[in-house]
Structure 1
Amino acid sequence: MPLPKTKPEFGIEAYMAWEDEQPERHEYLAGETFAMSGGTDAHYTILGNVFAELRTALVGKPCRAFISGMKLRIDRVDAVFYPDVFVTCDPRDRQPDASLAKQYPCLVVEVLSGSTAAFDRGRKFELYQQIETLREYLLIEQDRKHADLFRKNEDGLWVLHPAGPGGVIRLESVGVELALEGLYEDVELEQA
Protein backbone atom coordinates (compact mmCIF):
# COMPACT_ATOMS: atom_id res chain seq x y z
CA MET A 1 0.00 0.00 0.00
CA PRO A 2 1.31 3.47 -0.79
CA LEU A 3 2.45 5.89 1.92
CA PRO A 4 -0.32 7.70 3.81
CA LYS A 5 -1.41 11.03 2.39
CA THR A 6 -0.74 13.95 4.72
CA LYS A 7 -4.24 14.68 5.95
CA PRO A 8 -5.79 14.96 9.40
CA GLU A 9 -7.45 11.76 10.54
CA PHE A 10 -11.20 11.59 10.08
CA GLY A 11 -14.08 9.11 10.24
CA ILE A 12 -15.47 6.95 7.47
CA GLU A 13 -18.42 9.26 6.69
CA ALA A 14 -16.12 12.28 6.42
CA TYR A 15 -13.81 10.22 4.18
CA MET A 16 -16.73 9.28 1.89
CA ALA A 17 -17.66 12.95 1.43
CA TRP A 18 -14.02 14.03 1.04
CA GLU A 19 -13.24 11.24 -1.47
CA ASP A 20 -16.08 12.36 -3.74
CA GLU A 21 -14.29 15.69 -4.20
CA GLN A 22 -10.81 14.27 -4.96
CA PRO A 23 -9.35 14.04 -8.48
CA GLU A 24 -7.46 10.83 -7.55
CA ARG A 25 -8.69 7.79 -5.65
CA HIS A 26 -7.72 7.08 -2.05
CA GLU A 27 -8.28 4.03 0.12
CA TYR A 28 -9.21 4.55 3.74
CA LEU A 29 -8.18 2.64 6.86
CA ALA A 30 -8.87 3.66 10.44
CA GLY A 31 -8.78 7.42 9.89
CA GLU A 32 -5.96 7.53 7.33
CA THR A 33 -6.14 7.86 3.56
CA PHE A 34 -3.78 6.24 1.09
CA ALA A 35 -3.38 7.55 -2.44
CA MET A 36 -3.87 4.88 -5.09
CA SER A 37 -1.05 4.51 -7.58
CA GLY A 38 -1.37 3.54 -11.22
CA GLY A 39 -0.72 0.05 -12.54
CA THR A 40 1.18 -1.58 -15.36
CA ASP A 41 -0.10 -2.71 -18.74
CA ALA A 42 -0.12 -6.31 -17.44
CA HIS A 43 -2.07 -5.29 -14.32
CA TYR A 44 -4.84 -3.55 -16.24
CA THR A 45 -5.02 -6.21 -18.94
CA ILE A 46 -5.45 -8.99 -16.36
CA LEU A 47 -7.95 -6.87 -14.44
CA GLY A 48 -9.96 -6.27 -17.65
CA ASN A 49 -9.84 -9.95 -18.60
CA VAL A 50 -11.12 -11.02 -15.17
CA PHE A 51 -13.93 -8.47 -15.25
CA ALA A 52 -14.95 -9.39 -18.81
CA GLU A 53 -15.04 -13.13 -17.98
CA LEU A 54 -17.07 -12.58 -14.82
CA ARG A 55 -19.43 -10.07 -16.43
CA THR A 56 -20.21 -12.49 -19.25
CA ALA A 57 -20.61 -15.49 -16.93
CA LEU A 58 -22.97 -13.61 -14.59
CA VAL A 59 -25.48 -12.47 -17.22
CA GLY A 60 -28.94 -13.51 -16.06
CA LYS A 61 -27.79 -14.19 -12.50
CA PRO A 62 -28.57 -11.98 -9.48
CA CYS A 63 -24.86 -11.10 -9.15
CA ARG A 64 -22.92 -8.09 -10.41
CA ALA A 65 -19.22 -7.69 -11.02
CA PHE A 66 -17.54 -4.36 -10.31
CA ILE A 67 -14.18 -3.10 -11.49
CA SER A 68 -11.57 -1.02 -9.63
CA GLY A 69 -13.49 2.28 -9.51
CA MET A 70 -16.21 1.00 -7.14
CA LYS A 71 -15.62 1.31 -3.40
CA LEU A 72 -15.93 -1.61 -1.00
CA ARG A 73 -16.84 -0.38 2.47
CA ILE A 74 -16.03 -2.50 5.54
CA ASP A 75 -17.55 -0.70 8.52
CA ARG A 76 -16.56 -3.47 10.93
CA VAL A 77 -12.86 -2.57 10.50
CA ASP A 78 -13.28 1.12 9.58
CA ALA A 79 -12.01 0.67 6.01
CA VAL A 80 -12.87 1.48 2.41
CA PHE A 81 -10.94 -0.15 -0.43
CA TYR A 82 -11.03 -0.19 -4.22
CA PRO A 83 -10.58 -3.89 -5.06
CA ASP A 84 -9.46 -4.63 -8.61
CA VAL A 85 -12.64 -6.65 -9.17
CA PHE A 86 -15.37 -7.90 -6.87
CA VAL A 87 -18.75 -9.57 -7.15
CA THR A 88 -21.81 -9.05 -4.99
CA CYS A 89 -25.00 -11.10 -5.17
CA ASP A 90 -26.59 -9.46 -2.14
CA PRO A 91 -29.76 -7.43 -2.73
CA ARG A 92 -28.60 -4.87 -0.14
CA ASP A 93 -25.89 -3.83 -2.61
CA ARG A 94 -28.58 -2.96 -5.19
CA GLN A 95 -30.29 -0.40 -2.95
CA PRO A 96 -30.03 3.33 -3.82
CA ASP A 97 -27.88 4.03 -0.75
CA ALA A 98 -25.29 1.56 -2.09
CA SER A 99 -24.66 3.42 -5.35
CA LEU A 100 -21.22 4.75 -4.27
CA ALA A 101 -19.97 1.84 -2.16
CA LYS A 102 -20.87 -1.83 -1.80
CA GLN A 103 -20.60 -3.81 1.45
CA TYR A 104 -21.61 -7.43 0.78
CA PRO A 105 -19.29 -9.10 -1.75
CA CYS A 106 -18.99 -12.87 -2.08
CA LEU A 107 -15.80 -12.65 -4.18
CA VAL A 108 -12.90 -10.18 -4.17
CA VAL A 109 -10.09 -10.27 -6.76
CA GLU A 110 -6.76 -8.45 -6.49
CA VAL A 111 -4.07 -8.39 -9.18
CA LEU A 112 -0.74 -8.40 -7.35
CA SER A 113 2.09 -5.97 -7.98
CA GLY A 114 5.50 -5.74 -6.37
CA SER A 115 4.42 -2.78 -4.24
CA THR A 116 1.08 -4.21 -3.04
CA ALA A 117 1.55 -8.01 -2.90
CA ALA A 118 2.58 -8.22 0.76
CA PHE A 119 -0.30 -5.97 1.88
CA ASP A 120 -2.84 -7.78 -0.35
CA ARG A 121 -1.76 -11.20 0.97
CA GLY A 122 -1.49 -10.06 4.59
CA ARG A 123 -3.26 -7.17 6.25
CA LYS A 124 -5.78 -6.51 3.46
CA PHE A 125 -6.78 -10.19 3.40
CA GLU A 126 -7.16 -10.08 7.18
CA LEU A 127 -9.48 -7.06 6.84
CA TYR A 128 -11.47 -8.62 3.99
CA GLN A 129 -12.08 -11.69 6.18
CA GLN A 130 -14.24 -9.47 8.41
CA ILE A 131 -16.86 -9.29 5.63
CA GLU A 132 -19.47 -11.87 6.59
CA THR A 133 -20.65 -12.45 3.00
CA LEU A 134 -17.15 -12.97 1.56
CA ARG A 135 -16.58 -16.57 0.42
CA GLU A 136 -13.58 -16.31 -1.91
CA TYR A 137 -10.49 -14.14 -2.31
CA LEU A 138 -8.54 -14.47 -5.56
CA LEU A 139 -4.99 -13.17 -5.94
CA ILE A 140 -3.55 -13.09 -9.46
CA GLU A 141 0.12 -12.50 -10.14
CA GLN A 142 0.98 -10.18 -13.01
CA ASP A 143 4.53 -11.34 -13.73
CA ARG A 144 3.85 -15.08 -14.10
CA LYS A 145 0.83 -17.28 -14.78
CA HIS A 146 -0.24 -18.08 -11.25
CA ALA A 147 -3.24 -17.41 -9.03
CA ASP A 148 -4.07 -18.23 -5.42
CA LEU A 149 -7.73 -18.68 -4.56
CA PHE A 150 -8.64 -18.66 -0.88
CA ARG A 151 -12.05 -20.18 -0.17
CA LYS A 152 -13.83 -20.11 3.18
CA ASN A 153 -14.97 -23.60 4.16
CA GLU A 154 -17.87 -24.71 6.38
CA ASP A 155 -15.65 -24.45 9.47
CA GLY A 156 -14.85 -20.81 8.69
CA LEU A 157 -11.27 -21.62 7.67
CA TRP A 158 -9.70 -20.13 4.56
CA VAL A 159 -8.32 -22.89 2.32
CA LEU A 160 -5.79 -22.21 -0.45
CA HIS A 161 -6.51 -23.47 -4.01
CA PRO A 162 -3.53 -22.48 -6.22
CA ALA A 163 -3.64 -22.53 -10.03
CA GLY A 164 -0.74 -22.51 -12.47
CA PRO A 165 -0.33 -22.64 -16.27
CA GLY A 166 -3.16 -24.62 -17.85
CA GLY A 167 -5.15 -24.51 -14.61
CA VAL A 168 -8.79 -23.68 -13.99
CA ILE A 169 -10.03 -21.48 -11.16
CA ARG A 170 -13.35 -22.73 -9.78
CA LEU A 171 -15.22 -19.85 -8.17
CA GLU A 172 -17.88 -21.64 -6.15
CA SER A 173 -19.22 -18.37 -4.71
CA VAL A 174 -20.58 -17.37 -8.13
CA GLY A 175 -20.67 -20.73 -9.94
CA VAL A 176 -18.03 -19.73 -12.51
CA GLU A 177 -14.90 -21.42 -13.82
CA LEU A 178 -12.07 -19.28 -15.20
CA ALA A 179 -9.30 -20.74 -17.34
CA LEU A 180 -6.08 -19.21 -16.05
CA GLU A 181 -4.75 -18.86 -19.59
CA GLY A 182 -7.71 -16.62 -20.50
CA LEU A 183 -6.89 -14.23 -17.67
CA TYR A 184 -3.46 -13.64 -19.23
CA GLU A 185 -4.72 -13.09 -22.79
CA ASP A 186 -2.76 -10.22 -24.41
CA VAL A 187 -0.36 -10.06 -21.44
CA GLU A 188 3.30 -10.10 -22.39
CA LEU A 189 5.19 -11.80 -19.59
CA GLU A 190 8.93 -11.32 -19.32
CA GLN A 191 10.90 -14.49 -19.98
CA ALA A 192 12.86 -15.70 -16.94
Structure 2
Amino acid sequence: GREGSYDTEQAFYYPDVMVVCDKLLPDEYYETEPCILVEVLSPSTASVDLREKYLEYTRLPSLRTYLVVDQDTLFVRHWYRDEAGHWNHQDLTGDGNIPLPCLDGQITLPQIYRGVFE
Protein backbone atom coordinates (compact mmCIF):
# COMPACT_ATOMS: atom_id res chain seq x y z
CA GLY A 1 0.00 0.00 0.00
CA ARG A 2 1.01 3.60 -0.14
CA GLU A 3 0.21 6.61 1.97
CA GLY A 4 -2.06 9.20 0.48
CA SER A 5 -5.51 10.55 0.47
CA TYR A 6 -8.92 9.67 -0.82
CA ASP A 7 -10.49 12.13 -3.24
CA THR A 8 -14.05 12.40 -4.52
CA GLU A 9 -15.90 15.25 -6.14
CA GLN A 10 -17.61 15.94 -2.80
CA ALA A 11 -14.86 15.29 -0.24
CA PHE A 12 -11.15 14.96 0.33
CA TYR A 13 -10.03 12.62 3.13
CA TYR A 14 -6.75 11.36 4.57
CA PRO A 15 -7.45 7.85 5.92
CA ASP A 16 -5.17 6.45 8.61
CA VAL A 17 -4.21 3.49 6.38
CA MET A 18 -4.80 2.96 2.67
CA VAL A 19 -3.92 0.03 0.41
CA VAL A 20 -3.89 0.33 -3.38
CA CYS A 21 -3.40 -2.82 -5.46
CA ASP A 22 -2.17 -3.27 -9.03
CA LYS A 23 -2.35 0.32 -10.10
CA LEU A 24 0.10 2.92 -11.30
CA LEU A 25 0.23 6.15 -9.33
CA PRO A 26 -1.92 8.66 -11.29
CA ASP A 27 -0.91 11.60 -9.12
CA GLU A 28 1.75 12.00 -6.45
CA TYR A 29 -0.59 13.92 -4.10
CA TYR A 30 -3.80 11.89 -4.02
CA GLU A 31 -5.28 8.47 -4.69
CA THR A 32 -8.74 7.69 -6.04
CA GLU A 33 -8.82 3.87 -6.26
CA PRO A 34 -7.94 2.24 -2.93
CA CYS A 35 -8.98 -1.35 -2.23
CA ILE A 36 -8.66 -1.14 1.60
CA LEU A 37 -9.20 1.87 3.85
CA VAL A 38 -8.70 1.97 7.62
CA GLU A 39 -9.73 4.63 10.10
CA VAL A 40 -8.77 4.63 13.79
CA LEU A 41 -11.80 5.55 15.86
CA SER A 42 -11.59 8.20 18.55
CA PRO A 43 -14.33 10.10 20.43
CA SER A 44 -13.74 13.19 18.28
CA THR A 45 -13.91 11.33 14.94
CA ALA A 46 -16.44 8.54 15.66
CA SER A 47 -19.48 10.08 13.98
CA VAL A 48 -17.51 11.13 10.88
CA ASP A 49 -15.76 7.76 10.50
CA LEU A 50 -18.90 5.67 11.03
CA ARG A 51 -21.29 7.74 8.93
CA GLU A 52 -19.86 10.43 6.67
CA LYS A 53 -16.68 8.63 5.60
CA TYR A 54 -18.49 5.31 5.30
CA LEU A 55 -20.99 6.84 2.85
CA GLU A 56 -18.24 8.43 0.77
CA TYR A 57 -15.80 5.53 0.85
CA THR A 58 -18.33 2.86 -0.12
CA ARG A 59 -19.14 4.78 -3.29
CA LEU A 60 -15.67 3.91 -4.59
CA PRO A 61 -15.88 1.03 -7.10
CA SER A 62 -12.35 -0.11 -6.21
CA LEU A 63 -12.94 -0.39 -2.46
CA ARG A 64 -13.43 -3.90 -1.05
CA THR A 65 -12.74 -3.43 2.67
CA TYR A 66 -13.27 -0.55 5.11
CA LEU A 67 -12.09 -1.07 8.69
CA VAL A 68 -12.91 1.18 11.62
CA VAL A 69 -10.55 0.35 14.49
CA ASP A 70 -11.35 1.47 18.03
CA GLN A 71 -8.28 2.94 19.70
CA ASP A 72 -9.40 2.23 23.28
CA THR A 73 -10.84 -1.30 23.13
CA LEU A 74 -10.25 -4.46 21.11
CA PHE A 75 -12.99 -3.75 18.57
CA VAL A 76 -13.07 -3.46 14.77
CA ARG A 77 -16.06 -2.74 12.55
CA HIS A 78 -15.38 -4.60 9.31
CA TRP A 79 -17.27 -3.33 6.26
CA TYR A 80 -16.86 -5.49 3.16
CA ARG A 81 -18.26 -5.68 -0.36
CA ASP A 82 -19.65 -9.12 -1.22
CA GLU A 83 -19.50 -10.86 -4.61
CA ALA A 84 -22.79 -9.21 -5.64
CA GLY A 85 -21.38 -5.77 -4.88
CA HIS A 86 -23.42 -5.17 -1.70
CA TRP A 87 -21.89 -3.76 1.47
CA ASN A 88 -22.13 -5.77 4.68
CA HIS A 89 -20.51 -5.37 8.07
CA GLN A 90 -19.53 -7.35 11.10
CA ASP A 91 -18.30 -6.18 14.48
CA LEU A 92 -15.26 -8.10 15.70
CA THR A 93 -13.66 -8.48 19.12
CA GLY A 94 -11.21 -10.93 20.66
CA ASP A 95 -9.36 -13.11 18.14
CA GLY A 96 -11.50 -12.29 15.10
CA ASN A 97 -10.14 -12.83 11.59
CA ILE A 98 -10.67 -10.26 8.85
CA PRO A 99 -10.39 -11.51 5.26
CA LEU A 100 -8.63 -9.14 2.86
CA PRO A 101 -9.61 -10.46 -0.58
CA CYS A 102 -7.72 -7.91 -2.63
CA LEU A 103 -4.51 -9.02 -0.87
CA ASP A 104 -5.42 -12.74 -0.99
CA GLY A 105 -4.96 -12.87 2.76
CA GLN A 106 -6.34 -11.97 6.14
CA ILE A 107 -5.46 -10.11 9.33
CA THR A 108 -6.44 -10.87 12.91
CA LEU A 109 -7.39 -8.47 15.67
CA PRO A 110 -4.31 -9.45 17.71
CA GLN A 111 -2.17 -8.45 14.71
CA ILE A 112 -3.95 -5.10 14.43
CA TYR A 113 -3.55 -4.36 18.13
CA ARG A 114 -0.03 -5.78 18.53
CA GLY A 115 1.84 -3.60 21.02
CA VAL A 116 -1.25 -1.63 22.04
CA PHE A 117 -2.80 -3.77 24.79
CA GLU A 118 0.20 -5.95 25.66
Question: Normalising by structure 2, what TM-score?
Answer: 0.89
In 1, Cα distance between equivalents of 2:85 and 2:74 = 28
> Which residue number corresponds to residue 161 of structure 1?
90
Could you list the per-position Cα deviations for residues 102-131 of structure 1 after superposition, in whole angstroms to 9, with x for gaps in the alignment? 110111111101111111110110011121
In 1, Cα distance between equivalents of 2:5 and 2:96 = 30
Q: Is 1:87 the counterpart of 2:23 in the alignment?
A: no
| Structure in which a larger fraction of residues adopt strand | 2
Structure exhibiting the larger radius of gyration computed from Cα positions: 1
In 2, Cα distance between equivalents of 1:82 and 1:73 = 9
> Which residue number corresponds to residue 2 of structure 2?
66
Structure 1 residue ranges without an equivalent (≥5): 1-64
Tell me the number of residue pairs that the alignment of Structure 1 and Structure 2 aligns: 118
Q: What letter is aligned with 2:7?
A: R
After TM superposition, which residue ranges in structure 1, 4 or more long, deviate above 2 angstroms? Answer: none
Q: Is 1:116 the counterpart of 2:45 in the alignment?
A: yes
1:32-47 matches, cutoff 5 A:
none
In 1, Cα distance between equivalents of 2:49 and 2:20 = 20
Structure 2 residue ranges without an equivalent (≥5): none
Q: What letter is aligned with 1:88?
A: V
1:107-146 matches, cutoff 5 A:
107-146=36-75
Q: Percent identity?
A: 31
| Structure in which a larger fraction of residues adopt helix | 1
